[in-house]
């Protein structure tokens, strides 16, 4: 291979990484938007004099907005294209950030959060679909993992912004430059949202969407630029799997007998299990864990930031190895690790004495083991079910149904997220923390057998062969 050929390969790889990273900014905003409220909840509740169910709705209804956004983004992306859909999502992120910071009551704040949730749902569909459709098969797993990497980086940056804003003002409820600090927390989302829109204008449309629109010449140009060796043949393969007669519709997800296709059920199952292992409530008792081993309450937010860094590092493992080891081995390994660590937490919480507030009192060895188990759980999720589910959802469906099936899978994921988030408090009140984590342990164990018997390896396969 000549120096010129090597240079061309590096340039093509660099280009496909660039456009994949640009699309993954949607994932960054996904993580940022869902995490930024963490540092503001108490200040918002006090500022609006909202009761617990009102603030609960303000948080949880954003998840329903995400389900709606995910569900409808598939048809919109098939009709308007991936790039225009990204621009719509970017505008929604900007409007939501501005509105959330300007809110006058808990109710209009809730409206802006729902709008942001719709944008989050859209981003959760668009990034994995676009990356899967532009990335060469040999790089698709690693580039698909950029979605989860962007999500966890977004969470980290949001928590970091919350921390610096709160500490600069003295608290989230104190003024900063004459404006209550928590409002600045939501306005910090505006710059990356604008960047997302600008980035969307700099990247090409998906070649599979272009072929579906009979724009074959443009599709060939894009495929050649991302390093496809035989772009003309690739376009012919795409044409064989994309409907030309009509736009895709949700009835395409049904088989001849009128039932949902098995592959769609599997995609929804992956989405549900990713949430039912309890990842979005694992940090609910992080403050208790940190304090039980000697940390002060004031340090809990920065410790959570440090934990999010751990999440970023573990996602890098998936990015490095998903195309080497495959999707299935990582999922199976992660399921085993999550089952063991969650089981450990369930046992410790179930057997620990409780204080007057009903919180488990961990001391000595039990506190250290719980602390280690919680971080190992995050580690096991971070290299497996976190990123790999998004990779599979982006590539496991054929061209005809990909956007629609991914939209349905993402919507189901957000609904599962809502269910887990809203059932945790009553589980805690009526059954105890040990029972709650016992249920998450059961879901982690079930995830192992789900992958073992139902998931087929997709490493290195072309999308047209799915």
Clarify whether residues 168 and 272 are in a common domain. no
> Domain for residue 224, yes or no?
no
pLDDT score at 33: 86
Going 38 to 338 to 403 to 319, the CA torsion angle's sign is: positive
Residue position matching structure tokens 């802006």: 112
Tell me the C-alpha distance between 369 and 362, whole Å.
Answer: 10
Q: At 237, is the pLDDT very low, low, confident or very high (cuts 50, 70, 90)?
A: confident
Between 150-164, 243-257, 347-361, 410-424, the lowest mean confidence (pLDDT) is in 243-257
Q: Which residues of 137-175 are buried (b: 16+ CB within 10 A; e: fewer)?
A: bebbbbbbbbbbbbbbbbbbbbbbbbbebbeebeebbee
pLDDT score at 424: 77
Residue position matching structure tokens 């010129």: 4
Tell me the C-alpha distance between 398 and 392, whole Å.
Answer: 12
The DSSP letter of residue 354 is: B
Clarify whether residues 25 and 126 are in a common domain. yes
Residue 62, both tokens: 């954003």
Q: What share of the chain is helix, strand, coil (3-state, %, to 5)?
A: 80, 0, 20
Clarify whether residues 265 and 191 are in a common domain. no
Residue 440: give its domain's CATH number.
1.20.1250.20
Tell me the C-alpha distance between 321 and 324, whole Å.
Answer: 5
Mutual angle of helices 262-276 and 402-430, in 10-degree steps: 30
Residue 287, both tokens: 């403050």
pLDDT score at 284: 46
Tell me the C-alpha distance between 161 and 116, whole Å.
Answer: 18
Question: pLDDT tens, 380-415?
Answer: 998 899 888 988 887 888 777 777 888 888 889 888
pLDDT score at 357: 63
Residue 369 has pLDDT above 90, yes or no: no
Q: How many domains does the chain have?
A: 2
Clarify whether residues 176 and 323 are in a common domain. no
pLDDT score at 272: 96
Clarify whether residues 198 and 259 are in a common domain. no
Q: How many residues does the chain have?
A: 466
What pTM, to 2 d.p., does this model score? Answer: 0.75
The average pLDDT across 313-324 equals: 80
Query: CB 356: neighbour CB atoms within 10 A?
Result: 5
pLDDT score at 347: 93
Between 7-16, 95-104, 355-364, 425-434, the lowest mean confidence (pLDDT) is in 355-364
> Domain for residue 231, yes or no?
no
Clarify whether residues 270 and 195 are in a common domain. no
> Domain for residue 219, yes or no?
no
pLDDT score at 299: 65
Residue position matching structure tokens 């450990």: 344
CA atoms within 13 A on the CB side of 17: 8
> Domain for residue 210, yes or no?
no
> Domain for residue 337, yes or no?
yes
Question: pLDDT tens, 78-97?
Answer: 888 899 999 999 999 999 99
Mode of pairing for the β-strands spanning 175-176 and 179-180? antiparallel
The average pLDDT across 44-60 equals: 79
Q: At 242, is the pLDDT very low, low, confident or very high (cuts 50, 70, 90)?
A: low
CA-based nearest residue to 312, from 387, 418, 254, 422: 387
Torsion of CA 141, 446, 416, 150, to 10 degrees: -30
Three-state DSSP at 260 gives: strand
Q: What is the mean pLDDT of the chain?
A: 83
Residue 303 has pLDDT above 80, yes or no: no
- Mark which of 167, 186, 203 sits at the end of a domain: 203
Percent of the chain with pLDDT over 70: 88
Question: pLDDT tens, 95-148?
Answer: 999 999 999 999 999 999 999 999 998 988 888 888 888 887 777 777 777 877
CA-based nearest residue to 252, from 392, 403, 128, 69: 403
Residue 288 has pLDDT above 50, yes or no: no
248 against 234, higher pLDDT: 234
Residue 214 has pLDDT above 80, yes or no: yes
Query: CB 46: neighbour CB atoms within 10 A?
Result: 13
375 against 137, higher pLDDT: 375
- Mark which of 203, 230, 261 sits at the end of a domain: 203
The average pLDDT across 196-215 equals: 90
Residue 464 has pLDDT above 70, yes or no: no
Between 104-108, 156-160, 297-301, 341-345, the lowest mean confidence (pLDDT) is in 297-301
> Domain for residue 28, yes or no?
yes
From residue 452, alpha-carbon distances to 3, 257, 456 in Å are 44, 27, 9
Clarify whether residues 72 and 181 are in a common domain. yes
Q: Which residues of 302-340 are buried (b: 16+ CB within 10 A; e: fewer)?
A: ebbbebbebbbebbebbbebbbeebbbbbbbbbbbbbbb
Residue 460 has pLDDT above 70, yes or no: no
Report the run of H or E that residue 349 belongs to, with start and end: helix 327-351
Residue 423 has pLDDT above 50, yes or no: yes
Residue 193 has pLDDT above 90, yes or no: yes
Clarify whether residues 134 and 259 are in a common domain. no
pLDDT score at 430: 79
pLDDT score at 396: 84
**Domain enclosing residue 359, as ranges:** 251-466
- Mark which of 176, 203, 230 sits at the end of a domain: 203
> Domain for residue 243, yes or no?
no
């Amino acid at each position: 291979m000549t120096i010129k050929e090597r240079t061309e390969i590096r340039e093509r790889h660099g280009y496909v990484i660039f456009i994949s990273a640009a699309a993954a900014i949607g994932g960054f905003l996904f993580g940022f938007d869902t995490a930024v409220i963490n540092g503001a909840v108490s200040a918002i509740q006090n500022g609006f004099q909202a009761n617990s169910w009102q603030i609960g709705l303000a948080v949880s209804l954003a998840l329903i907005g995400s389900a709606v956004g995910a569900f409808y983004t598939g048809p919109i992306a098939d009709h308007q294209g991936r790039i225009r859909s990204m621009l719509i999502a970017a505008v929604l992120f900007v409007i939501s950030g501005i509105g959330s910071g300007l809110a006058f009551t808990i109710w209009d704040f809730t409206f802006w959060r729902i709008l942001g949730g719709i944008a989050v749902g859209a981003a959760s569909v668009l990034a994995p679909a676009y990356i899967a459709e532009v990335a060469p098969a040999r790089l698709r797993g690693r580039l698909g993992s950029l979605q989860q990497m962007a999500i966890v980086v977004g969470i980290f940056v949001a928590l970091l912004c919350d921390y610096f804003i709160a500490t600069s003002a003295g608290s989230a409820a104190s003024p900063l430059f004459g404006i209550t600090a928590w409002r600045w927390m939501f306005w910090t989302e505006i710059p990356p949202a604008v960047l997302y829109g600008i980035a969307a204008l700099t990247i090409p449309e998906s070649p599979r969407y272009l072929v579906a629109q009979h724009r074959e010449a443009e599709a060939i140009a894009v495929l050649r630029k991302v390093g496809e060796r035989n772009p003309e043949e690739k376009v012919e393969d795409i044409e064989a799997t994309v409907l030309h007669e009509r736009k895709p519709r949700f009835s395409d997800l049904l088989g001849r007998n009128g039932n949902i296709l098995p592959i769609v059920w599997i995609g929804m199952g992956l989405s549900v299990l990713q949430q039912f292992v309890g990842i979005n409530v694992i940090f609910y008792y992080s403050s208790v864990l940190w304090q039980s081993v000697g940390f002060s309450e004031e340090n809990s937010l920065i410790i959570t930031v440090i934990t999010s860094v751990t999440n970023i590092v573990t996602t890098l493992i998936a990015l490095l190895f998903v195309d080497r080891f495959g999707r299935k081995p990582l999922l199976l390994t992660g399921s085993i690790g999550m089952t063991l660590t969650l089981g450990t937490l369930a046992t410790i919480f179930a057997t620990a004495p409780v204080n007057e507030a009903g919180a488990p009192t961990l001391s000595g060895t039990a506190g250290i083991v719980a602390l280690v188990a919680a971080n190992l759980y995050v580690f096991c999720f971070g290299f497996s079910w976190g990123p790999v589910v998004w990779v599979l959802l982006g590539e496991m469906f054929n061209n005809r149904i990909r956007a629609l099936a991914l939209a349905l899978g993402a919507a189901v994921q957000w609904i599962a997220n809502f269910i887990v988030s809203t059932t945790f408090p009553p589980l805690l009140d009526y059954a105890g923390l040990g029972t709650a984590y016992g249920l998450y342990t059961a879901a982690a164990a079930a995830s192992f057998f789900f992958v073992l018997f139902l998931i087929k390896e997709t490493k290195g396969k072309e999308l047209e062969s799915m």
